[in-house]
Chains A and B, each alone.
Chain A
Amino acid sequence: MRVLDFDYMLGLVPVLLRYLPLTLQMAAAGMALALILSCGLAVIRVLKIPGLNAATLLFISFFRGTPLLVQLFLFYYGLPQLLAFLTQINGITATIMGLTLHFSAYMAESIRAAIVGVDRSQTEAALSIGMTNGQLMRRIVLPQATRVAVPTLMNYFIDMIKATSLAFTLGVTELMGATQKEAAGSFLYFEAFITVAILYWIIVELLAWFQRWLELRLNRAYRR
């Protein structure tokens, strides 16, 4: 067994950090879009909107039932063959699209559970004073569901950050892709991959810390 090349690892950190913004941007874009989409899907499921409900169930079943990597390949390599205007979808776009659709399928179910968990009598109270379904969702149900859903959604965000590493299989040079290139040049595979692992780990721990802070804040209204 040889000794780890710490100097190489330390030198690698600033090189890799140059690619961190792309990783975070893809995760942030994916999360923002997935939040919008999953809220829509969850509301369709809760209100059981005819037609759309069945379509939503199918969507959720497909995107939870197939591997993310397969979905990414489907969008990146498959879609352009099907839809001419997508002749060249870039890897970043395909990744964001894949993350959005894949994670929104999971998030929709968490959000639905959080919405359904809001005390039904508050819904009736809101209706009884003449609120519309939309007003009741926006002002009463979603704010309370948010509080319940935030911890789970933060976990999905953390998963999503880690999942951006799959983008390197679509030729995107993000954190993982950059590490792969560096390792191939130096042949110090262990040093390169343990360095990137530690970087992901630190990011995730920072987020976990933020998550705990957020939960405390959100729970303020409900403490006796």
Chain B
Amino acid sequence: MIKIANLVKRFGDATVLDGIDLDIAQGEIIVVIGPSGTGKSTLLRCLNFLERPDAGHLVIGDLSVDVTRASRADILAARRRTAFVFQNYALFANKTALENIAEGLIVVNRWPKARAHARAREILERIGLADKADAYPASLSGGQQQRVGIGRAMAAQAEVILFDEPTSSLDPEWVEEVLGLMKQLARERQTMLVVTHEMGFARDVADRVVFMEGGRIVEQGPPSQLFNAPRDPRTRDFLRKILAGQPA
């Protein structure tokens, strides 16, 4: 259960998030779409405190925090309750696939190494990379790296996994395997907040699609409604461009 209330983020004079309100139920899959520079990444990064929001209130599981008063402990708590999948994978280059997944369990959750490695092996099994346990990121394909990135997020057992354009850096040949893994997680009702330009994924998998523009949520609804009968002219405009294959 996530509650985002009146979240504001400014970079200098620019207000990048202009009062975002969003509730996410347990097991819900939300896809965020919108033009470039609209604050989608910033929204995810604020939930994870990779950016410090300027105002707002966050509830993430049993954590409830006024962001302007968030202590170091609150920030760590928020990070433990959210997991992040990065556009460029951001795997630890000095660790194997197995170690990348086990790292958080060992360091953050203070699990004994053997137990963390056993769990990491289970996850490697689920992401279809059991045979790559001892491979370093440099020797994996983009698709494999991103699946490890997702595996690392799965290991955290977070309230929500935040995906920031997880397939945008991939060569086309690897996109499907990553989307496939995300669909698998969706079937397992892993709570997910996904920023993506993959409209097919949004249509098939999302419970709710959120359209953002200019730091605000313009419109949201189930994919059937948002894609087939968008109410706001800005949503219609964006979808028309995106579906025509133009950059939005």
A residues sitting closer than 8 Å to B (CB atoms) are 119, 121-122, 124-132, 135, 139-140, 143-144, 147, 221-224
Partner of A129, one of B108, B136, B139: B108
If A221-B136, A223-B138 touch, whether A124 touches B94 (CB-CB below 8 Å) is no
Q: Does the CB pair B50–A127 fall under 8 Å? A: yes
Residues of B in contact (CB 8 Å), total 26
Q: Does the CB pair B80–A140 fall under 8 Å? A: no
Pull 29 A–B residue pairs with CB atoms less than 8 Å apart, ordered by A: A121-B86, A121-B90, A122-B90, A122-B92, A124-B84, A124-B86, A124-B90, A125-B84, A125-B91, A125-B92, A126-B92, A127-B49, A128-B48, A128-B79, A128-B84, A129-B103, A130-B76, A130-B80, A130-B104, A132-B76, A135-B108, A139-B103, A140-B92, A147-B94, A221-B94, A222-B93, A223-B139, A224-B138, A224-B139
Q: How far is the CA of A132 from the CA of B50 in the complex (A)?
A: 13
Q: How far is the CA of A135 from the CA of B136 in the complex (A)?
A: 21
Instruction: State whether the Cβ of B107 lies closer than 8 Å to any Cβ in chain A.
Output: yes
Q: B77-101 toward A: CB 8 Å interface, digit per residue (1/0)?
A: 0011011101010111111000000
A-side interface mostly: helix
Q: Does the CB pair A129–B90 fall under 8 Å? A: no
B161 to chain A, nearest CB (A): 11
Instruction: State whether the Cβ of B197 lies closer than 8 Å to any Cβ in chain A.
Output: no
If A124-B50, A125-B86 touch, whether A140 touches B79 (CB-CB below 8 Å) is no
Give 13 new A-B contacts, CB below 8 A, not counting A121-B86, A128-B83: A119-B90, A119-B93, A122-B90, A125-B152, A127-B79, A128-B48, A128-B82, A129-B84, A130-B108, A130-B156, A144-B94, A221-B94, A224-B139
B76 to chain A, nearest CB (A): 5
Q: How far is the CA of A132 from the CA of B91 in the complex (A)?
A: 17
Residues of A within 8 A of B152 (CB): 125, 129
Partner of A222, one of B48, B83, B90, B136: B136
Q: Does the CB pair B107–A135 fall under 8 Å? A: yes
B159 to chain A, nearest CB (A): 13
- Nearest 7 pairs between A and B by C-beta? A121-B90, A129-B104, A128-B84, A125-B90, A130-B79, A130-B80, A130-B108
